[in-house]
Structure 1
Amino acid sequence: MSRNPHVLIVEDEPDLANLYAAWLTDGYAVETAYDGTTGLDAIDESVDVVLLDRRMPGLSGDTVLDTIREQHVDCRIAMVTAVEPDFDIVEMGFDDYLVKPVSKTDLTTVVDQLLLRSTYDEQLQEYFALAAKKALLDAQKTEAERSSSREYERLEDRLAVVRTKVDDTMEELFDQDVYHRLCQDISRNPSPS
């Protein structure tokens, strides 16, 4: 039985944290933390997405973010903050950034996108692991040996299935409006040669 994705909201304004939680409870297992220390205590491998305020008393969101990344917790993090982004964000380890005020649509969209990107990452990891096994067997075994192997046939089948999933997920990512805008921004502002 699959579980609902686990979203942790770390926000020092309880009313705002509770509002975000109410917006997300239909599709997610939601947990709230009203300060950075409590947020860090709540981080474990079950957390899929963290919605993190930057400016909090005590441990700032920036410190919480750095600590999560230092602990190598496999989760996606979106900063949800009133702090306008500046060039300092370039070195920060978040996955997305929303400037308050945010709407229910903004919040659910960013959570959905982060979860989709996580799926894509997992699919890519599996794809490359399978492709590496196939390449090794292709180099070490003759065509006759590969043709007569059920394991090799299952590997090829699994590789084809995962490739299709990767392609489908990538297409879904690019079908979302935010990715179209991102690509448009990149094409309008090419990097200097």
Structure 2
Amino acid sequence: MTDEHETVLLVDDESALVDLYANYLGGAYRVLTATSGEEALEVVSDAVDVVLLDRRMPDMRGEEVLREIRSNGIEPQVAMLTAVEPTVDIVDMPFDDYRVKPVDKPELLGLIETLLERAAYDEHSQEFFALASKKAALEVGDADDTDEYEELCVELEEVRERIDATLDRIDTRGAFADLAKLS
């Protein structure tokens, strides 16, 4: 379910593409746009829920923009939306999803809905989905036979185990005690 108060920042140096994506999203979200990394850093704030960020921009690369956003303590969901095929260099980038352009309207809307849903998850679950997105991107980019990919898989399994341990600690009877009283 979308909410017109949810804000999406589109960042791409191709203004025609920014306009197209803004048109796709305009009826469902509050849309902010930037056609450079520096402009994106001026526009982004805690009010932004999702950032769609191009990797290749002439003034400032997308990963630089992303690191600056994170270093400023701003924590929107970020998807790298780019024509750059993923390689192992993405493993250390603090994004939440990675998509290779072109994307159509249903894919773009689905991506934003997924990112907004993930934002409601706890920190471990968000980390899990970010790692799973990187793993999938590397598999699509045929970079799944590298040491970095293997390390990512290990990290993903460790996060999965932490989530499972947390779930195991939840007392099912206690969690559902109120339901038992109703029957």
Residues of 2 paired with 1:26 and 1:121: CA distance? 29
Residues of 1 paired with 2:4 and 2:102: CA distance? 30
Equivalent position SS for 2:81: strand
Matches within 5 A, 1:1-150: 4-121=5-122
**Aligned-residue offset at 1:3:** 5.2
**Aligned-residue offset at 1:26:** 1.2
Give the letter for the 2:112 counterpart: V
Report if aligned partners of 2:4, 2:28 keep a CA contact under 8 Å in 1.
Answer: no
**Aligned-residue offset at 1:73:** 0.4
Which deviations, in whole Å up to 9, do the C-alpha atoms of 1:125-146 show, x marking residues without a partner?
xxxxxxxxxxxxxxxxxxxxxx
RMSD: 2.7
Equivalent position SS for 1:120: coil
Q: Which runs of 5+ in 2 are unaligned?
A: 140-149, 158-183
| Structure number with higher helix proportion | 1
Which deviations, in whole Å up to 9, do the C-alpha atoms of 1:20-63 show, x marking residues without a partner?
00001111000110110000100111100000000001111110
Report if aligned partners of 1:9, 1:17 keep a CA contact under 8 Å in 2.
Answer: yes
Q: Which runs of 5+ in 1 are unaligned?
A: 125-172
Task: State TM-score, norm by structure 2.
Answer: 0.65
Residues of 1 paired with 2:75 and 2:63: CA distance? 17
**Aligned-residue offset at 1:10:** 0.5
Runs of 4+ deviating beyond 2 Å:
190-193
**Aligned-residue offset at 1:114:** 0.5
**Aligned-residue offset at 1:120:** 2.2
Whose Rg is larger?
1
Task: State TM-score, norm by structure 1.
Answer: 0.62
**Matched residue, 1:169:** none
3 and 102 in structure 1: CA distance in 2 versus 1, 3 angstrom threshold: closer
